[in-house]
């Protein structure tokens, strides 16, 4: 789950990670009030979950989702131009994203930029601190070109972050004296946030030192462990469904694991591994999958029906491939779900069904006795070939 | 022989009174598994299916019945505690079926189990099946949620991160007349108890296993590590399949561990590492059984 920049800033404030002064505004009037508290260097930033905001263009022609100005009135005018408008950046796709909030903050001068992140490392099964003297740039590029400028510090899962580990990272980044102290407090607060909020990653890029010697987090990116959201209702509440593919929002309501893609062959599968493999085999035979969809190991008839509705709600979809290996799950439940769905939504595209496993004979009979127009297949390869052929026909 | 469990292994189930745990406990009994105890705090003294005693604690269950393996079916918020309880009670093998355990919990559980004798498999896994020696391979040891009937006693070891994809592979093998020594689901989470490499080593040492199918997916470096070891040390033919070649980067594909991040953990890199180790990689998930036949020459 991702959150907005202003929400990240609020989390930073809660845990004591220093960042520039600033607040979020929904209206130009609010922007004016906040900007008037910010001094003579003010930055106004559109709040969308996408990179490249600064170089983006609004659909009304206004250029740039990030601007620095020198007085509050200007900040307010900028907010008025951004709010309610759709911003297109290299990460949003052509449709862009609606800007309903802007962040108005103190624009700080930068003396030096750094990179600082904490992430859950699966190989060491521990939190790892990643720090670099090369901040404000793509860290993957730094890793490729100058890996010696990136430092890693593994933290013991049960002991937690030790004072010497903080000193070690501070020294690697070249901090000393008061700045080392400020950095230590920041890292310590960031680590506490990482653990207490069940993050899988928190990244500050850039971390900056200002000309007047302050150490500040200028931007932040969070990734939370979805499995842990049940114990963080406050974080779950930060979720902004308008930032998500509407098909995925709909699927989540029915506990379906759905990820929208760009192809035209929809798939409905039980199990995540098999769902990925089904996408792969569609591609192998020359097709393009329209989605990843795992209905889970114990899907109900209702879930299958809703899965069909979501698939058919996507205008790009030109064929459907159902691939079920009913281990414990009853193939007949799937079959009845397909029949029920076809009664509720008009099925006017080719449907290929491959059922295998538990109670498969009953499932095939249910489908055969219904008036649903479908092509059946005995193996996954046969099903994928038929689905691809149906598109090309 | 087989690995990890056989028809004599005594198991207990934590969370046996839940609907999910109960259903699969019954299926394990039907398969002939030596399910000797259940554990649900507060329900000690009751009986499951008129024959399996239920205890309040894992210690009581282990002391009374001699169970050496625990299968965990408890809901995610209580799963870490359940795993640690099983380890504390002296279980040699703990198989966590539960899906959706927070990663921080698993991080602490793994660290706490360091140096203890218990081996953890999973979480978020289908479990283990060692098919039986009876007619239609009954009388075996089924722990977890895999369908028993698809298995056939034989000589192929199966190890996988995915549930239904494992069933697909096992079913293909069975239809080709190739039985399985043991099928192990190691689970789809980023931090788990047992890796592909751990299981490969066991299959390599198991006299009954003659060939191995390894099923992986995008995310992490588990498959690459196993491949590098196999290249040097594995004496047995291996076939493999990697799911997720078409998965977009940065998206979690159902399993918490199935994510390409920072350009790492791609299917292409894994397939290359496997091929480099001389492993026969199935081109499609329909080709897994045949890939094993090719690997065996």
Predicted confidence band at A219 (pLDDT cuts at 50, 70, 90)? confident
- What's the full length of chain B, in residues? 297
- Position A189 pLDDT exceeds 80: yes
A294–B254 C-beta distance less than 8 A? yes
Q: For residue B117, give how far its alpha carbon lies from the nearest alpha carbon of chain A (Å).
A: 19
Q: For residue B64, give how far its alpha carbon lies from the nearest alpha carbon of chain A (Å).
A: 31
CA–CA separation, B257 vs A276, rounded Å?
13
Quote the number of domains for chain B.
2
Structural domain including B84 reads: 10-121
What backbone torsions phi and psi does residue B170 show, to the nearest 5 degrees? Answer: -60, -45
Residues B173, B55, single domain; the answer is no
CA–CA separation, B281 vs B294, rounded Å?
10
Residues B160, B108, single domain; the answer is no
Concatenated DSSP letters for B192-249? -S--HHHHHHHHHH-TT--EEEEEEESSSSHHHHHHHHHHHH--S-EEEEEE-TTPPT
> How would you list the strands of the sheet with A375-377, edge to edge?
A257-260, A291-294, A265-269, A319-326, A351-357, A375-377
The answer, for B101 touching chain A at a CB cutoff of 8 Å, is yes
The answer, for B287 touching chain A at a CB cutoff of 8 Å, is yes
Token pair in block for residue A300: 């109900």
Predicted confidence band at B40 (pLDDT cuts at 50, 70, 90)? very high
The answer, for B268 touching chain A at a CB cutoff of 8 Å, is no
B163–A297 C-beta distance less than 8 A? yes
Residues B157, B251, single domain; the answer is yes
Can you point out the beta strands (E) in chain A?
22-25, 42-46, 57-58, 66-69, 86-88, 97-98, 102-106, 112-121, 126-132, 150-154, 199-209, 215-217, 220-224, 257-260, 265-269, 291-294, 319-326, 351-357, 375-377
User: Tens digit of pLDDT for each residue in A246-255?
Assistant: 888 888 888 8
> Distances from the Cα of B234 to the Cαs of A111, B153, B159, in angstroms?
55, 22, 15
- Position A173 pLDDT exceeds 80: yes
> Which of these three, B98, B121, B144, is where a domain ends?
B121
In a domain, B199, yes or no: yes
pLDDT of residue A50: 79
User: Tens digit of pLDDT for each residue in A256-265?
Assistant: 999 999 999 9
In a domain, B177, yes or no: yes
Residues B189, B281, single domain; the answer is yes
Q: Fill in the DSSP letter of residue B32.
A: T
Name the residues of A annotated as catalytic.
115, 203
CA–CA separation, A348 vs A374, rounded Å?
10
Parallel, antiparallel or unpaired: strands A291-294 and A126-132? unpaired
Q: For residue B145, give how far its alpha carbon lies from the nearest alpha carbon of chain A (Å).
A: 7
Token pair in block for residue B143: 């722990």
pLDDT of residue A329: 78
Q: A229, A1 in Cβ contact below 8 A?
A: yes
A380–B258 C-beta distance less than 8 A? no
Nearest-Cα residue of chain B relative to residue A288: B246
CA–CA separation, A177 vs B115, rounded Å?
41
Residues B237, B165, single domain; the answer is yes
B285–A281 C-beta distance less than 8 A? yes
- Position B1 pLDDT exceeds 70: no
Nearest-Cα residue of chain B relative to residue A285: B284
> Which of these three, B101, B121, B141, is where a domain ends?
B121
The answer, for B55 touching chain A at a CB cutoff of 8 Å, is no
Most confidently modeled of A270-279, A320-329, B58-67, B142-151? B58-67
In a domain, B136, yes or no: no
Residues B173, B115, single domain; the answer is no
pLDDT of residue A341: 86
In a domain, B2, yes or no: no
Name every chain B residue with its beta carbon within 8 A of the beta carbon of A225.
102-104, 256
In a domain, B126, yes or no: no
CA B291, chain centre distance (Å): 21
Residues B271, B180, single domain; the answer is yes
In a domain, B176, yes or no: yes
Q: For residue B245, give how far its alpha carbon lies from the nearest alpha carbon of chain A (Å).
A: 6
Q: Which helix (H) or strand (E) is B148 found in, with range?
A: none
- Position A137 pLDDT exceeds 80: no
A228–B165 C-beta distance less than 8 A? no
How many other C-beta atoms lie within 10 A of the C-beta of residue A372?
Answer: 17
User: Tens digit of pLDDT for each residue in B193-234?
Assistant: 999 999 999 999 999 999 999 999 999 999 999 999 999 999
pLDDT of residue A321: 96
State the sign of the Cα–Cα–Cα–Cα dihedral B277, B150, B259, A384.
positive
Q: Count A/B contacts: CB-CB distance under 8 Å.
A: 174
> Distances from the Cα of B268 to the Cαs of A72, A218, B218, in angstroms?
52, 36, 9
User: What is the SS3 assignment for B64-116?
Assistant: HHCCCEEEECCCHHHHHHHHHHHHHCCCCEEEECCCCCCHHHHHHHHHHHCCC
Predicted confidence band at B249 (pLDDT cuts at 50, 70, 90)? confident
CA–CA separation, A44 vs A65, rounded Å?
8
In a domain, B138, yes or no: no
Q: For residue A289, give how far its alpha carbon lies from the nearest alpha carbon of chain B (Å).
A: 8
Higher pLDDT, A288 or A299: A288
Residues B14, B78, single domain; the answer is yes
In a domain, B249, yes or no: yes
Nearest-Cα residue of chain A relative to residue B255: A272
> Distances from the Cα of B46 to the Cαs of A34, B15, B41, B82, in angstroms?
64, 13, 11, 19
User: Tens digit of pLDDT for each residue in B256-270?
Assistant: 888 887 778 899 999
A380–B284 C-beta distance less than 8 A? yes
Q: Please state the rounded mean pLDDT for residues A17-45.
A: 93
User: Tens digit of pLDDT for each residue in B85-107?
Assistant: 999 999 999 999 999 999 999 99
Residues B271, B166, single domain; the answer is yes
- Position A175 pLDDT exceeds 80: yes
B107–A126 C-beta distance less than 8 A? yes
Of B111, B171, B283, the CB nearest to A158: B111
A270–B190 C-beta distance less than 8 A? no
Higher pLDDT, A29 or B257: A29
Nearest-Cα residue of chain B relative to residue A274: B165
B220–A274 C-beta distance less than 8 A? no
Q: B80, B105 in Cβ contact below 8 A?
A: yes
Residues B72, B156, single domain; the answer is no
CATH number at residue B206: 3.40.50.261
> Which of these three, B105, B121, B137, is where a domain ends?
B121
Predicted confidence band at B77 (pLDDT cuts at 50, 70, 90)? very high
Parallel, antiparallel or unpaired: strands A319-326 and A351-357? parallel
CATH number at residue B100: 3.40.50.720
The answer, for B115 touching chain A at a CB cutoff of 8 Å, is no
Of the given ranges (A289-303, A376-390, B45-59, B240-254), which has the lowest mean pLDDT? A289-303
Q: Fill in the DSSP letter of residue A107.
A: P
Residues B117, B220, single domain; the answer is no
Residues B166, B51, single domain; the answer is no
3-state secondary structure of A45: strand
What backbone torsions phi and psi does residue A88 show, to the nearest 5 degrees? Answer: -110, 120
pLDDT of residue B255: 87
């Amino acid at each position: 789950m991702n959150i907005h920049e202003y929400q990240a800033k609020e989390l930073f404030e809660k845990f004591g990670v220093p960042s520039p002064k600033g607040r979020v505004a929904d209206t130009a009037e609010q922007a004016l009030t906040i900007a008037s508290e910010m001094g003579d260097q003010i930055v106004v930033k559109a709040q969308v979950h996408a990179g490249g905001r600064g170089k983006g263009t609004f659909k009304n022609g206004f250029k740039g989702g990030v601007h620095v100005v020198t007085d509050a009135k200007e900040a307010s005018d900028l907010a008025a131009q951004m709010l309610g408008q759709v911003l297109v950046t290299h990460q949003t796709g052509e449709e862009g994203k609606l800007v309903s909030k802007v962040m108005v903050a103190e624009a700080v001068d930068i003396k030096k930029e750094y990179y600082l992140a904490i992430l859950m490392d699966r190989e060491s099964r521990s939190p790892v601190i990643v720090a670099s003297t090369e901040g404000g740039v793509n860290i993957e590029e730094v890793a490729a070109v100058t890996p010696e400028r990136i430092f890693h510090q593994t933290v013991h899962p049960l002991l937690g972050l030790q004072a010497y580990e903080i000193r070690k990272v501070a020294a690697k980044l070249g901090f000393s004296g008061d700045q080392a102290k400020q950095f230590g407090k920041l890292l310590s607060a960031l680590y506490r946030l990482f653990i207490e909020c069940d993050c899988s990653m928190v990244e500050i890029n850039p971390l900056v030192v200002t000309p007047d010697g302050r150490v500040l987090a200028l931007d932040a990116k969070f990734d939370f462990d979805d499995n842990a959201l049940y114990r963080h209702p406050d974080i779950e509440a930060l979720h902004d469904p308008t930032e998500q593919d509407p098909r995925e929002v709909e699927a989540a309501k029915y506990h379906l694991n759905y990820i929208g893609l760009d192809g035209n062959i929809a798939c409905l599968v039980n199990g995540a591994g098999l769902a990925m493999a089904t996408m792969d085999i569609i591609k192998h035979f020359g097709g393009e999958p329209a989605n990843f969809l795992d209905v889970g190991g114990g899907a109900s008839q209702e879930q299958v029906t809703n899965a069909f509705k979501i698939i058919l709600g996507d205008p790009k979809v030109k064929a459907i491939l159902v691939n079920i290996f009913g281990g414990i799950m009853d193939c007949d439940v799937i079959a009845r779900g397909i029949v029920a769905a076809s009664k509720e939504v008009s099925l006017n595209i080719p449907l290929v069904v491959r059922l295998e496993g538990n109670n498969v004979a009953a499932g095939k009979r249910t489908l055969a006795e219904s008036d649903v127009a479908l092509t059946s297949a005995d193996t996954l390869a046969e099903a994928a070939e038929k689905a691809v052929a149906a598109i090309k026909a | 022989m087989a690995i990890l469990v056989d028809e004599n292994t005594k198991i207990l189930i934590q969370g046996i009174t839940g609907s999910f745990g109960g259903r699969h406990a019954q299926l394990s009994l039907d398969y002939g598994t030596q399910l000797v105890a259940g554990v649900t705090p507060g329900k000690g003294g009751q009986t499951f299916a008129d024959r399996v005693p239920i205890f309040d604690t894992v210690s009581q269950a282990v002391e009374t019945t001699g169970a050496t393996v625990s299968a965990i079916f408890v809901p995610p918020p209580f799963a870490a505690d359940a795993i640690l309880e099983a380890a504390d009670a002296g279980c040699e093998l703990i198989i966590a079926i539960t899906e959706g355990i927070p990663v921080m919990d698993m991080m602490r559980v793994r660290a706490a189990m360091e140096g203890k004798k218990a081996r953890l498999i999973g979480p978020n896994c289908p479990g283990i099946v060692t098919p039986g020696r009876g007619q239609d391979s009954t009388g075996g040891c089924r722990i977890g949620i895999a369908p028993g009937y698809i298995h056939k006693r034989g000589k192929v070891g199966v190890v996988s991160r995915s549930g239904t994809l494992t069933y697909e592979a096992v079913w293909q093998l069975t239809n080709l007349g190739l039985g399985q020594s043991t099928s192990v689901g190691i689970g789809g989470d980023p931090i788990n108890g047992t890796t592909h490499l751990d299981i490969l080593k066991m299959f390599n040492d198991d006299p009954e296993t003659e060939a191995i199918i390894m099923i992986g997916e995008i995310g992490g470096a588990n498959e690459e590590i196993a491949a590098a070891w196999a290249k040097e040390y594995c004496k047995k033919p291996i076939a493999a399949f990697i799911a997720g070649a078409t998965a977009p980067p940065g998206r979690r594909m159902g399993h918490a561990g199935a994510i390409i991040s920072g350009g790492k953990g791609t299917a292409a890199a894994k397939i290359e590492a496997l091929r480099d180790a001389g492993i026969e990689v199935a081109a499609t998930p329909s080709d897994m059984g045949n890939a094993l036949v090719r690997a065996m020459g």
